[in-house]
Each structure stands twice: as C-alpha cells, then as structure tokens.
Structure 1
Amino acid sequence: MDTILILTILVVVFALAFDFINGFHDTANAIATSVSTKALPPRTAIILAASMNFIGALTFTGVAKTITKDIVDPFQLGNGSVVILAALIAAIAWNLITWYYGIPSSSSHALIGSVAGAAISAAGFNILNYQGFIKILQSLVLSPFLALAVGFIMMTIFAFIFKNFNLSKTNKGFRTMQIATAALQSYTHGTNDAQKAMGIITMALIAGGFQTSTDIPMWVRIGAALSMGIGTSVGGWKIIKTVGGKIMKIRPVNGAAADLSSAIVIFGATMLHLPVSTTHVISSAIMGVGSAQRVKDVKWGVAQRIVLTWIITLPVSAVIAAIVYQILNLFF
C-alpha cells in the first residue's frame, strides 16, 4: 500500500481518537456545574451532553476551515501527513497527561500548538501562516477574559432580579434551568471543539493529494461528531470534580449563570469561525460568576493552577510535537 495512503489513514484514526479523548476530557466541563448542583444525575447529564455534542458538531464547519488553512498552508506543507500525525500524537499525549491529573487544560491549545510545533520542526518558522495563526492565538487568549466579564455581568443581573425571591424556590427553578443551559453549552461545545479534528483530517487529505479544496467532507463531519459523542458518554469525572467544585462552591443560580455565559462566548466564536478553548471559557465564566458573588468565594489557588496549565500547554505541546515529528521522520 502507498505510504501516503497509510499515513493519511493513520491521521484519520488518530484525529478521531483525539476527538474521542476530547469528548471525555473537555465535555466534562460542559456538564460539571449541572452535576455538582445535582440538577442532573451524572448518567443523564452525560447522555444529554453526548447527544447535543453530536448535533452541534454536524451544524457548522467554519472553525474546521480555519484550522485547515490558518495555521499552515496545507497546499505548501511538504511531508504534510507526517507533520499532522506528529501533531496529533503530541496533542493526545498532553490531553491524557492532564486528564490523568484532573487538570482542565485546553485541547485546543494542545492541538494548535502541536500543529505549529510539528510544522516548524519540518520546514522552519516560515511555514506558519502568521496572519491566521495570530488571529487564532488572539481568540484563544481573549476568550477567557471575555467569559470572565460575561460571567460577572450575568451573575450580577441574576442577583439583582432574584434578590427578593424565596431561596428554595429560586434554587429549584434554577436547577430546572440548568438542564436547558447544560444542553445549550454541550451543543455550543460541539459546534466549536469537534470541528478542530475535522480541520486536521481535511489538512491531511489535502497534504496527501486526496482533496483539492478546504471543504469538509460529510464523512469527516459525521466521524468527528460520532467520536466526540462516544467520548462524552465515557465521561471525565476527575475534571468534573475540579471544575464543578474546586474553583468555587456552586449553587444552581451560579451554575445557570456560568453555563449561559460560556455558551454565549463559545457560540459567538463559532459564528466568527474562531476556535476557542471551551475549557478556558467555562472555567473563566465560573470565576466571573464567583467574583460577582464574592471574590473570596473563588478558590484562587486552584484557579492559578488552571491558568498555569493554560499558559504552558501551547509551548509544551509544540515542543513534544517537534520531537515526535523528528522521530517519525526517521521511519517515513
């Protein structure tokens, strides 16, 4: 069998594996608040998240096209299949390491950093599409701050509207609302995160000469959506614990405000065809909600640990991918 075909098949397998891991790594964030407030039983929350992720993944392709063409030009990428395979191996490795330790790191940062690192290792810094790459970095960096602000504003509005309401009745109402906000957040997660693997597979198809446009084939969309849905059904309990309880003590009103805030930010990015880290956005929205209630309620030590992981993920994954590329290049 032709070497390029073998490499392309390997890329597809690893990309779908990345989406599967993304499903139980990142989707845990989308249902963390509803599980921690007991708005939804864990099993029900996971089924809901898996279903909404699948639907969301099939709805849009703008982010996938951004990933395909804005980090590096797939039409100019020599030895492209090996570059992409190295990037996927590095991103998966970093995701599994952070999942093992229960740290909500960013799959988006890991994947984008890995693609850049492997491409630079193969062809030098000039291979990067700097305009597109900087645009992606800006969206990754700015979105958590935006989520923090939206979370703060959303919680302030909720506190003002419901300040004279009966607490137990309000909590019951917000628990019901959390079912809808968890579904919405899972849907928006699918519209943004599942598309990253779609973009990577399309890159490999172009680099291997199997496709001549940046359009996302339907089989790629369905495969990525299914992989993420199945990954979601496995669940990510370590990360649910961190996001759902270790940043702050979450009540139903906090959970609903955080879910709604992060869904607005993620869906806004999807409409602009920009990849964002759902992990960053959800964690930041929770911090914003907590700050609006009482700054001391936020466990800033845990928040610092999460932020540190955000900062190191992109460069560390880039270095891992560069090393993996050099190893793979010995064989291919």
Structure 2
Amino acid sequence: MDTFSLIVTIGVALGFTYTNGFHDSANAIATSVSTRALTPRAALAMAAVMNLAGAFIGSGVAHTVSKGLIETPTHNKGMGILFAALIGAIVWNLITWYYGLPSSSSHALFGGMVGAALAGGTDVIWSGVLDKVVIPMILSPIVGLIVGYLIMCLIMWLFRRTNPHKAKRGFRIAQTVSAAGMALGHGLQDAQKTMGIVVMALVIGDVQGSNDPIPVWVKLVCALAMSAGTYAGGWRIMRTLGRKIIELDPPQGFAAEATGASIMFATAYMFKAPISTTHVITASIMGVGATKRVNAVRWGVAKNIVMGWFITMPAAALVAAASYGVVYLVFG
C-alpha cells in the first residue's frame, strides 16, 4: 500500500504540473502572440523547450517548497496530506482556466499544502509561509507594475526619434528573446515547485533522506510534464492576458516580458522565493500599459484578476482540506 500510495501521489503531482503548464503557458507567450511576434504554435513550442531547460538551472525554490512551508509529515497520514494538497491545487487550476482567469498555480499549490496540513494535523511553518509566500505575493506584483512602467518609459525615451513602424518591427524580433526568457524563468520557478512536492513524497516513503539532493529523474519528469502542459496551450487565459487587459504593441510586449523574466530570475536566485509568474507578468502588463494613458488599462478586468489572486490560497486550502477528509474516510 505504501509503494502504491507513493506512486499515486507522484502521478498526481505530475498531473498538477501538467495543469500548471497549460494554465500558465499564457504567462510566457501571450504578449508575443497578441503582437504577432510569434505564431501561437511556434510560441508554444519555444515555451515548452525553455520550460524544460529552466527546470534544470536551479533548485532553491524546490527546497523552499519541500522544507520551508509545512513540516514533512512522517506519520501514516503523510501521503494522504500531499495527495489532498495536490487535488486542491488541481481543482482550482481547472476552475480558473475554465473562466479564463490568470490566477496563480503556485499559490493554489501553497494553499492546498496549508489546507491539507491543517486538516491532517501537520504543523504549518507560518514564518515560512509569511516570508516565502505572502510577502512575495504582495510585493512581486507591485514591483512588476513599477518596473514595467519605468522600462516602458525608458524605451519610449530611447526610441523617441525612431520611425514607429521600424521600431515595432525591431521589437517584434526582440520579443522572441524576451518571451524565451519568460519561459525559461517559468521553468525555473514553477517546475521546481512540483519537484519539492515529489521530494517530500519520497522522504515520507523512505526512498530518500530529507537532505539528499533532488534526483535527476525527478527533475526530468517534472520538467517534461510541465513542458507537455505548456505545449497543450491555455488559450482562454492567453486571450485575457494578451488582449483583455490592454491591446499591446511589440515595444510594450517586450517591456512586459523583460520585466517579468528579470523579476523571476532575481527572486529564484537571490531569495529562493517561489513567486507567481502569473502575478508578475500580469502586473508588468498593467504597468507597461499605463504609460500609454492610465485609462488605457482595462482596470475592471484587472480588478477581477487581482480579486482572484486573493481568494486562490484560501479556496485551494478549503478544497484540499475537504479532499483530505474524503481520503481519511475512505482509507482511514
């Protein structure tokens, strides 16, 4: 039964990272597709490859998820807690994908972990949740908004005497680089979160020690699952990010992607903080769009998105807690 539960939990974790891939594929490519810098399929293929590469260029975020948010449950309920946490995150991902709402898969996972841990009697490391999740959740969109605005202002000043049509052609080409950077950062951030869950499952199942390095096969399967999900594409959310917040042109798309990628790399390497790629790119798009004129951003759409961010963790936590209750009733 222990081996079976371990295999099932790892399978569900890969299912989560697949939904993470198609839910968040819009983060990397929505701006490039909306400005016609890349065709949708070419953009998805590029994003899938860069997601795969990004998963192998760091491990700090994975260690934060596996050790810094909840105590690793070592009792016989441990695998059920992880299973329920993943179910909570997957359900929320599917709900928000259906409604085209660019919510955070990362915070759905964190909410699921907290909800399942509380339901299963495992201690939550509240200082870690505050420092590594809540504070970055608040700060990263603010930074994205401000930095996106400033980078776009700089671009407008540097190219103020350039022919607008010529500049747009150049930035359309540059967007292939900035979109690749976003996809690489997405792999660096989000694939590692699932790695952290798989490592916890392996520790609970006595397959490896808590201080052992992340096995290569774990990195590989998590990266492949996310890349497959990315290539499947999240068209509903792509329309929201690419067109409903603001109609982007190539310079704006480049500025938003460059901002988002820079923040993701900085937080992953400097703070080992698992931030939301969704929050960062959405806020960056808002900041970039505000340089056109403040009312160019559809703030009503933005308000609905931000409200979704705040309910993601508690909603996923409730689903995870309920899922744990069902698992406990069925399997004891």
Query: Which TM-score band applies after superposition, normalised by the shorter structure?
Result: over 0.9
Q: Residues of 2 paired with 1:91 and 1:77: CA distance?
A: 23
What letter matches 2:293 in structure 1?
R
Tell me how far apart the structure 1 counterparts of residues 279 and 5 of structure 2 sit (CA, whole Å): 32
Which residue of 2 is the match for residue 196 of structure 1? 193
Residue among 244, 249, 252 paired with 2:250:
252
Partners of 1:313 and 1:4 lie apart in 2 by 31
> Are the aligned partners of 2:149 and 2:288 in contact in 1 as well (CA < 8 Å)?
yes
Q: Which one of 179, 182, 203 corresponds to residue 182 of structure 1?
A: 179
Determine if contact 1:8/1:81 at 8 Å carries over to the other structure: yes
Indicate if the aligned counterparts of 1:75 and 1:206 stay in contact, CA closer than 8 A.
no
TM-score (structure 2 length as normaliser): 0.97
CA offsets per residue over residues 21-50 of structure 1, 9 Å max, x none? 111111222100000000001110001000
Alignment of 1:45-64 (within 5 A): 45-64=43-62
- The answer to whether structure 1 residue 270 and structure 2 residue 268 are counterparts is yes
Matched with 2:329 is: 330
Shift of 1:76: 5.0
Q: Match for 1:132 among 128, 133, 138?
A: 128
- Deviations for 1:165-197, whole angstroms, at most 9, x for unmatched residues? 100000000000001100111001100011110
Considering only aligned residues, what root-mean-square deviation do their CA atoms show, in Å?
Answer: 1.1
- Matched with 1:31 is 29
Once the 2 structures are TM-superposed, how far is the Cα of residue 252 of structure 1 from its aligned partner?
Answer: 0.3
Partner of 2:149: 152
More deviation, 309-318/141-150: 141-150
Percent of aligned pairs with the same residue?
A: 45
Contact 1:155 1:293 in 2 (8 A): no
Q: Are positions 1:173 and 2:170 aligned together? A: yes
Amino acid at match of 1:314: M
> What is the one-letter code of the residue matched to 1:11?
T
Please, which runs of 5 or more residues in structure 2 have no aligned partner? Answer: none
Are residues 1:223 and 2:221 paired?
yes
Query: Deviation digits for residues 71-102 of structure 1, max 9, x if unmatched?
Result: 11215565111000001011001101110111
8 Å Cα contact 2:27-2:182 kept in structure 1: no
Q: SS of the residue aligned with 1:212?
A: coil
Q: Provide the rounded CA distance (Å) in 2 between the counterparts of 1:141 and 1:67.
A: 18
- Structure 1 stretches of 4+ with a deviation exceeding 2 A read 75-78
What TM-score does the superposition give when structure 1 sets the normalisation length?
A: 0.97
Partner in structure 2 of residue 119 of structure 1:
117
SS of corresponding position for 2:162: coil
What letter matches 2:124 in structure 1?
L
The 1:324–1:80 alpha-carbon spacing in structure 2 relative to 1, beyond 3 Å, is same
Greater CA deviation, 213-222 or 260-269? 213-222
Could you tell me which runs of 5 or more consecutive residues in structure 1 were left unpaired when the two chains were aligned.
none
Amino acid at match of 2:117: A
Distance 1:92 1:224 in 2: 15
Letter in 1 for 2:131: K
